[in-house]
């Protein structure tokens, strides 16, 4: 008898096959209504294979009387009501570490692409403007710049390690000073933004970081500043950001995350000083396979009564 689990959103084939080999997999109703699942199925479910960025609230968890684990696919679990899970002794796991390098790589790739105008330069060649109009407009150098990293967890640190090799000056904001190379600690975001030519958001999502990239932080970054966000759209005051980009209060932004993905604010599409990415910072074949494997290891650990590999609560 394979244990029963509930699967949210669609997994890649390699994950679906593996989940179905290990478990009896039920799908969250396409209607989005948990009530559409029969009660006898709900009673059998002992774990969720969770994926995606929709909200996983108390009312969904409470529809499953025998739920023991929410195994999240991804490192961020800001959409999961962990406090409620804990109150019911439901464990939550995530998939840290395996995606750190990919997220940091994309952050740096977005930064370089924005700062050196790589997308515009590509259009310059393919449209024939190089041949007809001459040299591409000059961009700005990176070396010697001050880079501010908001949030120095695993991903923020990996970004810092990469950018230090570009001969930049690393500043960071965190709740407390960390053990780092010669990076400069800031205890508030305004100070960080003032000292930064480029500000990279790498904090966790959730209520503590809601709109921490405020109009004040954006103003402190200044008219030469670039903003990079690979964290969560919720960290950003998007109205303030869009206004700052429209009025050239900052030089540009490269964004992998947004509020209301994938139906993002259409004003972003009208801007010529942004690089927009479809939340794919962990989107490589190798990393997604590792994320799926780690999620399953947590599920297997639950059913084998061995310690969870990457517990959150």
Which spans of this chain sit near its own copies (rule: CB under 8 A)?
12, 101-102, 105-106, 108-110, 112-113, 115-116, 118-119, 121-122, 124-126, 130-131, 134-136, 138-144, 161-162, 164-167, 261-264, 268-269, 275-278, 280, 283-288
Phi, psi of 95 (to 5 degrees): -125, 70
Active-site residue, selected from the candidate residues 116, 140, 162, 279: 279
**Hunting for tokens 């096959």 — which residue is that?**
17
Q: Distance between CA atoms of 136 and 152, rounded to whole angstroms?
A: 36
Query: 100 or 235, CB closer to its own copies?
Result: 100
Active-site residue, selected from the candidate residues 4, 26, 68, 261: 261
Q: Distance between CA atoms of 62 and 65, rounded to whole angstroms?
A: 6
Burial bucket for residue 34 (CB in 10 Å: 0-12, 13-18, 19+): middle
Smallest separation (angstroms) from its own copies to the CB of 7: 16
Q: What's the chain's Rg over C-alpha atoms? A: 22
Phi, psi of 33 (to 5 degrees): -105, 115
Query: 34 or 271, CB closer to its own copies?
Result: 271
Smallest separation (angstroms) from its own copies to the CB of 124: 5
Active-site residue, selected from the candidate residues 186, 232, 251, 288: 232
Query: 51 or 186, CB closer to its own copies?
Result: 51
Q: Distance between CA atoms of 141 and 229, rounded to whole angstroms?
A: 20
Smallest separation (angstroms) from its own copies to the CB of 170: 12
Smallest separation (angstroms) from its own copies to the CB of 31: 18
Indicate if 232 belongs to the active site: yes
Q: Residue 255, SS3?
A: strand
Indicate if 279 belongs to the active site: yes
Q: Which residues form the catalytic set?
A: 232, 261, 279
């Amino acid at each position: 008898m394979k244990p029963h689990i509930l699967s949210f959103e669609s997994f890649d084939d390699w994950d679906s096959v593996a989940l179905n080999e290990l478990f009896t997999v039920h799908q969250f109703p396409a209607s989005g209504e948990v009530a559409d699942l029969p009660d006898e199925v709900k009673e059998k479910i002992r774990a969720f294979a969770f994926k995606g960025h929709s909200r996983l609230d108390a009312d969904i968890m409470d529809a499953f009387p025998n739920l023991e684990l929410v195994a999240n696919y991804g490192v961020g679990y800001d959409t999961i009501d962990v406090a409620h899970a804990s109150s019911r002794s439901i464990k939550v796991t995530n998939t840290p570490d395996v995606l750190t390098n990919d997220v940091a790589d994309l952050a740096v790739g977005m930064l370089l692409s924005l700062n050196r105008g790589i997308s515009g330069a590509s259009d310059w060649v393919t449209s024939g403007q190089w041949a007809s109009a001459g040299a591409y407009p000059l961009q700005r150098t990176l070396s010697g710049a001050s880079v501010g990293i908001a949030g120095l967890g695993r991903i923020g640190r990996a970004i810092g390690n990469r950018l230090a090799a570009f001969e930049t000056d690393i500043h960071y904001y965190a709740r407390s000073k960390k053990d780092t190379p010669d990076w400069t600690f800031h205890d508030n975001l305004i100070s960080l933004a003032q000292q930064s030519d480029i500000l990279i958001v790498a904090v966790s999502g959730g209520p503590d970081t809601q709109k921490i990239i405020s109009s004040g932080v954006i103003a402190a970054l200044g008219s030469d500043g670039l903003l990079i966000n690979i964290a969560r759209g919720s960290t950003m005051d998007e109205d303030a950001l869009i206004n700052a980009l429209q009025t050239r209060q900052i030089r540009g932004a490269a964004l992998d995350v947004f509020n209301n993905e994938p139906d993002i604010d259409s004003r972003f599409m009208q801007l010529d000083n942004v690089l927009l990415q479809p939340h794919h910072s962990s989107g490589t074949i190798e990393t997604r396979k590792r994320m799926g494997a780690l999620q399953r290891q947590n599920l297997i650990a639950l059913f084998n009564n061995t310690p969870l590999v990457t517990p959150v609560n």
